[in-house]
Amino acid sequence: MARLPQDKDRIERATREAQSIIAIERQAREAKTARLRELRLSSEAPVSTGAAKRKPGTKKAARKTIDVR
């Protein structure tokens, strides 16, 4: 079978463009992840301070076990 000639410049250009698009998408994804992480951490901050105010001598209640026979 005869092979078709390949346009190496076109392939290289397409590769560069694809890598450029991938890099742009990666930056957008990382920016979104950072933004969502900041939102999550800012919303968790008030909740975690309530747990720190617990009295030092108190413990969580132990779970009761039921013996089924």
pLDDT reported for residue 57: 67
Tokens of 18: 């694809």
- pTM value > 0.75: no
5-33 pLDDT tens trace:
788 999 999 999 999 999 999 999 999 99
Give the 3-state secondary structure of residue 29: helix
- Cα separation, 7 vs 3, in Å, equals 12
34-55 pLDDT tens trace:
999 999 999 986 644 555 566 6
Higher pLDDT, 67 or 69: 67
Domain boundaries, the chain: 10-43
